[in-house]
A and B are shown apart, each in its own frame.
Chain A
Amino acid sequence: MSSSFDKVKSTLPYLGVGLGLRREVAAETFEAGHVIDFLEVIPEQYLCKGGDTRERLNKARASMPLVVHGLNLSLGGASPLDQEYITRLKTFVQFTDAPWFSDHVAFASLGDLYLHELLPVPFCKETIEHMSRRIKMVKEQIEKPFLIENTTYYMSMPGSDMTEPQFLTELLEEADCGLLLDVNNVYVNSVNHGFDPFLFLDQLPLERVVQIHMAGHLAKEDIVLDTHGAPIADPVFDLLRYVLSKATVCGITLERDQNLPPFDEILAELSAIKIITAEAKQAKTSLELEKRP
């Protein structure tokens, strides 16, 4: 890693295995604080809100470490960055004391029109220039380490002339930020666009991965949708094992947004991720011991 981000990453704490905080299971989440290492909060769910929403955030902040994962920056959008949002986001990141914050490689609004979805961008040099400029502006203003997340794309965008790994690699280098690697998104895209997800991972600068997202998806007739509404599929666990064998990360988050199961099932998934994490750590330690003269 020939960047200043390696220094930044080396200062970040190891948080462990965490959960995306959701209103519907907030009470169970706080009760299970002893087995959840950290929480990921979505700022848009708390900005400009009081009442029990604010109370939930205060409780989360008092319970365990938080990381901030935003939806609204619209980094790939052609419309100007929303300064009001960035100002509020900065205050929010400071309030949560999050060691880093993240958003997506996507656009989410067009002018005054908010789209309620993360939409893909063309994979090309021009997008890299456009997005890296915006990422640098965000980094400068928020003054915390920033990660971008690889997203799903169900259609290739006109104007794309690079592969996704080429695009992400150049964007990460140009913007000099970290990667929030959504392993489920890699799997979903690999099925929808017919590529080998392991080869895909080999082409990414995995040393820039700070956080990993794990989630479930929905396989339909001719497409796989990233729903966060199902248990994590086995191939996604396999990809996690693969990434952890090659990279050191600071945190792994389980995202579950729909079809919420009994909370025990969520805890069981967290436990499965923890086992894989421990095995990867063990394997790395053994390897290092073997290498010693």
Chain B
Amino acid sequence: MSDRLHDLEKLLVELWFDQAFAGKAPDIDDLPDYARGQIDLRRLAVYSNVLRENHLQVLQGIFPRTRKLAGQEWESLARAYCLALPQLTRNNRRPDHFRMNNTGAYFHAYFLANQKALAEKYPFMSDLIQFEIVQAELAESDQEVSYSIENDSAPTVRALARRQPLVNPVLRLLHCRYDIPALIDILDDESRPQTAPALEPRQVVLVAARNPLNYRVRVVEVNDLTALLVQTARDSNCSYLDLVAVASEHCALAKDELTKHCLTLFADLHEHHVFVGSKELIGS
């Protein structure tokens, strides 16, 4: 049974997909004997429409602003991606109903590889796609975050040496070629003219982190040094003082001034939930 059922399901899915995403109506002569005369082509189209609508809804849910930016070109872009999806997901993270975001996981790579004309027309679209999938993934992440408030506003050097910042595990650093938060403001402005936004290239580094208290994903722009410190704190078990040392290699400030600057920065990172607490280093 499984072979016959598999053949039938495969045939129907191919017919539905071709019709839904490539606009290719099935030819009755191409059908295998067992299916010929048994498939109502009009009703087959109902499923093609349903599959198309459902896939597009999922993508629209993950990429609402990309859809807004693409305007009338959204549907053909999304359809082309859906058509390519079976190939993209083969032996890979498969999208399913409990990992719905996986449906959009390949969109960025697909866009870069296959949508040159659209990428030229909207050079910031690629960054926006990446931004939106990261936001969606962070919002749903099942990573546990234990959060504690930092009380020590003026720690001693000794305290800085023995304590390690805990980086929010629900966090991503994004390096963009365009100011994506500014682009989002433009796209969210309902009164803006329906033309492509004019945006000059500007390298920005963004930290997107989920607030462990209200679960909202907040995005802040950071400079290169801050990004480096966050990355270092995340990738190694270093103390606050180690981070100050890293900063000193990239900053010309005098020692005292640099420490003061770093303390302010650490407080900001706690406030923005980039750091979600501290812990005593073992052996300190």
- Chain A positions within 8 Å of B, measured between CB atoms, are 43-45, 47-55, 71-72, 76-79, 82, 85, 88, 107-110, 112-117, 119, 121-122, 126-127, 129-130, 154-159, 223, 225
Contacts and interface: CB of A to CB of B under 8 A. Distances in A.
Contacts of A130: 1-2, 5
A48 B144 CA distance: 11
A51 B139 contact: yes
16 contacts: A48-B142, A51-B140, A53-B140, A78-B3, A78-B9, A112-B94, A117-B50, A119-B12, A126-B4, A130-B5, A154-B46, A155-B40, A155-B46, A158-B38, A159-B4, A159-B34
B106 interface: no
A157 B35 CA distance: 9
B44 interface: yes
A130 B6 CA distance: 11
Contacts of B46: 154-155, 223, 225
A285 to B, nearest CB: 42
A155 B47 contact: yes
A12 to B, nearest CB: 26
A78 B92 CA distance: 20
A79 B7 CA distance: 11
A114 B44 contact: no
B156 interface: no
Contacts, number: 125
Given A43-B98, A117-B51, A155-B44, A110 B9 contact: yes
B1 A116 contact: no
Interface of B: 1-6, 8-10, 12-13, 34-35, 38-40, 43-44, 46-47, 50-51, 54-55, 58, 85-86, 89-92, 94-100, 103, 139-144, 170, 210, 214-215
Nearest to B2: A78
Contact of B13 (A115, A154, A158): A115
Give 10 closest A-B pairs by Cβ, nearest first.
Answer: A155-B43, A78-B6, A158-B38, A44-B97, A116-B54, A50-B142, A126-B1, A51-B215, A47-B98, A44-B98
A51 B9 contact: no
Given A44-B97, A54-B142, A130-B5, A112 B86 contact: yes
Contacts of A43: 98
Contacts of A119: 9, 12, 47
Given A109-B96, A113-B86, A114-B96, A127 B142 contact: no
A5 B85 CA distance: 42
What does DSSP make chain A's interface, helix, strand, loop or mixed?
mixed
Contacts of A52: 214-215
Given A51-B139, A72-B97, A116 B55 contact: yes
A126 B214 CA distance: 51
A45 B100 CA distance: 9
B13 to A, nearest CB: 5
A162 to B, nearest CB: 14
Contacts of B92: 112
A49 B96 contact: no
A110 B40 contact: no
Contacts of A116: 51, 54-55, 58, 97, 103
Nearest to A155: B43
A51 B44 contact: no
B43 A50 contact: no
B96 A72 contact: yes
Nearest to A108: B97
A72 B170 CA distance: 27
A117 B1 contact: no
Nearest to A52: B215
A109 B13 CA distance: 9
B9 A107 contact: yes
Contacts of A79: 6
Contacts of A126: 1, 4-5
B141 A50 contact: yes
